[in-house]
Amino acid sequence: MQKEKQSQNKRISDSELRQLVAANKKIYWEHYDPVFLRNLIDQVMAVVDETYFRSRFVGFSELPQRNNPKRPLIYAGNHTGMSFPWDAMIFVGGFFKKHGYDTSKSLRALTAPMLSKTALMNPFLMKDVWKKAGGIDANTLNFETMMEYQDSDLLIYPEGVPGIGKGFNKRYQLQKFSTSFLRMSIKYKTDIIPFATINGE
């Protein structure tokens, strides 16, 4: 048991990591369907937004430029605590629409694996909707792999599932969050773009 623990904790070399990342690049297009995403935004999310959330983007008229052209920017936001990641869905849809459905100005989100694995956490019970819309299961290898992806920038909600489940009474209290986005920003010398969602609860 002790040996097994030690082997799990053993740090892999840079060359081993590069090999793992190269083999994992299938995640870029394995499920992602930009046509599906556009239809989902236009025919479903736009209606939800216009009739209920009525979102407004403040400070997004000009997109920040990449300080490191080879690496995606990391957009990091809060969850507003509503038991479902509507805030992320409205943000991605509005962001994509705002920039004319230009995939080079879109975002790919790292999502909690339980969202895609749990049928009830798939919006409208559509199978694989998170992945078809560009979501990637959040784990270390996938994060490393997405740092090689240049077609769009990356979106992360560091609070994860505790952020959507925190409830109305904690709506503006950040939950304990993952610091992986900070480590990746430092490692790959790319900027973090913090943003806040308010009144989404």
User: Would you list the DSSP string of 131-158?
Assistant: HHTT-EE-SHHHHHHHTT--SSEEEE-T
pLDDT in tens, 50-92: 999 999 999 888 889 999 999 999 999 998 877 788 899 999 9
Does residue 18 belong to any structural domain of this protein? Answer: no
How many domains does the chain fold into? 1
What are the residues facing 193 on neighbouring strands? 75
**pTM for the whole thing?**
0.88
3-state secondary structure 55-115: CCCCCCCCCCCCCCCCCCCEEEECCCCCCCCHHHHHHHHHHHHHCCCCHHHCEEEEECHHH
CA distance 38 to 4: 46
Three-state DSSP class for residue 21: helix
What are the residues facing 76 on neighbouring strands? 156, 194
Does residue 170 belong to any structural domain of this protein? Answer: yes
CA distance 90 to 108: 14
Q: Which range marks the domain in which residue 50 is found? A: 25-59+72-195
Does residue 29 belong to any structural domain of this protein? Answer: yes
Does residue 20 belong to any structural domain of this protein? Answer: no
Q: Is the pLDDT of residue 4 over 70?
A: no
Amino acid at 101: Y
Q: From the CB of residue 80, how many other CB atoms can be counted at a distance below 10 Å? A: 22
pLDDT in tens, 130-178: 999 999 999 999 999 999 999 999 999 998 887 887 877 887 888 888 8
